Amino acid sequence: MKNLIYILLFFFSLQTAVAGNPGDTKSKEKVAERTVMAKVTDASGEALIGAKIIVEETGETVYTDWEGNFVLKIKTDKDYSISVNTIGFKPVQLKSSSVLLFAELTLSPL
């Protein structure tokens, strides 16, 4: 009977240790999500389809659609940089301070 009580106490303490403290709010905090929407074009205003947009710090990646538009949800509270590139054009890198909610980005040919 003593062994059964010790085993039950062991499993209960193991479960409590894995679950964490009820007052621990770090895991419950949500990271602010920022949304960046933009259109990527060439110098003549033509949409660049399939351009790759990457948030350098988090690795989040999206591609432009048929109209050159993209929507990127960035999950970080810190400063970030976005790089935009596609074949045949010079890559563009933007810092969070220069990123607007909606912008048109024009890429220059190589």
Average pLDDT over residues 72-77: 78
**Each residue of 28-50: pLDDT tens digit?**
566 667 788 889 999 999 999 99
91 pLDDT above the threshold of 90: yes
pLDDT score at 102 = 58
CA 58 – CA 36 distance, rounded (Å): 15
Among residues 30, 34, 86, which one has the least CA distance to residue 55? Answer: 34
pTM for the full model?
0.65
| Extents of the domains making up the chain | 36-106
Query: What pLDDT score was predicted for residue 5?
Result: 46
pLDDT digits (tens, 9 = 90+) for 48-61: 999 999 988 888 99
Overall average pLDDT of the 62-71 stretch: 94
CATH tag, 36-106: 2.60.40.1120
* H, E, C per residue of 31-56: CCEEEEEEEEECCCCCECCCCEEEEC
